Amino acid sequence: MRDARFELLRLELLEAGVAPVYVERTILELAEHYADLERAALDGGLRPDEAARAALASLGSQRAIAAAVLSRSELLTFRTRHPRVAHYLHSAAAIGTLPGLPLMFCIEHRPELTRWGVAISVAATLMSSVLAGLNWLIVVPL
């Protein structure tokens, strides 16, 4: 269940162009940190409402948190970081030239594609060496 306490921050970050995976991670970390701060305040002898206020005050304002997240350009989506390129690719795909779609997919998913490419290369190399060894065993005259 989502924490309603940080829902406005979630919406602000999504509207500003932060990638959804980073928004969810930020909100999760804030909720966990808030729970830790609230627990510490309760252990310190504060009432529950005072502990909640103290935890929110310790976290800082949501505007400051949003500004800190938005200052990191690597957390933004490709469309937000490179609007002209994204617009060009979207326009090229919209008028029927479909080569723009695979290109945009490849640009957006570089780390995953790199990992899969390396894994497939290692697997192909391993299988080629096994098959070459078997072929050598079969062909070698006795």
For residues 23 and 66, the answer to whether their CB atoms sit within 8 Å is no
Task: Say how many C-beta atoms besides its own lie within 10 A of residue 30's C-beta.
Answer: 19
Reduced to 3 states, what is the DSSP secondary structure of residue 129?
helix
pLDDT tens figures, 11-57: 999 999 899 999 999 999 999 999 999 999 999 888 988 988 898 88
- pTM as predicted: 0.57
pLDDT tens figures, 45-94: 889 889 888 988 888 888 998 999 989 888 888 888 888 887 777 776 66
Q: Which residue has the tokens 């060894």?
A: 133
Residue 38 makes CB contacts below 8 A (sequence gap 6+) with 51, 52, 54, 55
Q: Residue 66 belongs to what H/E stretch? A: helix 62-70
pLDDT tens figures, 86-118: 777 777 666 655 656 677 777 778 888 889 889
Domain segments of the chain as ranges: 1-76, 77-108, 109-142
